[in-house]
Amino acid sequence: MGSTQSKTQTITRLPLGIFAWILGGLTLLGVTAGLVILLGVGRWLVREDAMEQATAIAVLSGNTPLRALEAARLYHDGYAKEIWLTHPGATVDALKALGIGYPSEDDVNTRVLRGQGVPTNAIKVLESSIVNTSDELDAISATLKAKGGQKVIVVTNKAHTRRVHILWSKYFGSRGEVITHAVSDDEFEPAHWWRTSGSLTQVTHEVLGIMHAWAGMPVHPIAHPATAVVAVGVR
């Protein structure tokens, strides 16, 4: 009787043991896959295109003066005859309303470009005041279409190139083709992005931004304001 009960208990316990091994294996596989994806996200975020001749070189706001310096180098290499700057004017305009003069980012970038030998008539500021990357690409793509151009080179940081390409392809691709290009001196290390707080912040911001783009931009709907282009010099 005791021998029969022992055999029965062994038989009933065996499937549970197999289930535990399977569950453990799947958990380990999931953790491993998660780590591979997590560690590889830095490389995935970098999505640069081969350089070609374009209608213009557009400098996205941020990381002053490195993006403007990169645009000046591309200009002198002959990739385009114009450099377009966006106008992130919310703070500047608010200070101006208070009677406080403060240089906008496009003012600073203009000075940087002029200092690098880019002529005044080759520097153009897109008049629409922008808030985020989507606004910038909207202004850039609208200007490209208005000028009858086919391609525009967009200069940004390495970690930002994937999101720029996704946003352009999803929302602005009908207006022309984008060539994403990263700052050559960008210190972002795709293979070791977790080692510095700056890179960690960039990756987190870009992943959330891409998820937002994929979701259809529910938080901040895309606006399509009329965009004009004006030539500017040093103010």
Neighbour count for residue 121 (Cβ, 10 Å): 11
| 37: confidence class by pLDDT, cuts 50, 70, 90 | low
Q: Which of 66-70, 100-104, 113-117 is least confident? A: 100-104
pLDDT for 193: 84
* Beta-bridge mates of residue 230: 125
Average pLDDT, the chain: 83
pLDDT for 28 beyond 70: no
Which tens digits make up the pLDDT trace of 133-171?
Answer: 999 999 999 999 999 999 999 999 999 999 999 999 999
Decide if pLDDT at 27 tops 80. Answer: no
Strands 151-156 and 177-182: parallel
**How far lies 11's CA from each of 3, 16, 23, 70, 123, in Å?**
13, 10, 19, 70, 80
16-25, 56-65, 140-149, range with the lowest pLDDT: 16-25
DSSP one-letter string for 102-130? ---HHHHHHHHHHHTT--GGGEEEEEEE-
Q: Is the peptide bond before 15 cis (omega within 30 degrees of 0)?
A: no
Residue 126 or residue 231, greater confidence:
126
pLDDT over 50 (residue 11): no
Query: What pLDDT score does 26 carry?
Result: 61
Q: 56-231 — its CATH code?
A: 3.40.50
For residue 98, the SS3 value is: coil
Contact in structure between 137 and 179 (CB atoms under 8 Å): no
Q: How far apart are CA 95 and CA 58, in angstroms?
A: 26
Contact partners, residue 107, CB within 8 Å, separation at least 6: 235
Q: What is the spatial distance between Cα 94 and Cα 46, in angstroms, rounded to a whole number?
A: 35
Burial class (CB in 10 A: 0-12, 13-18, 19+), 116: middle
pTM score > 0.85 for this model? no
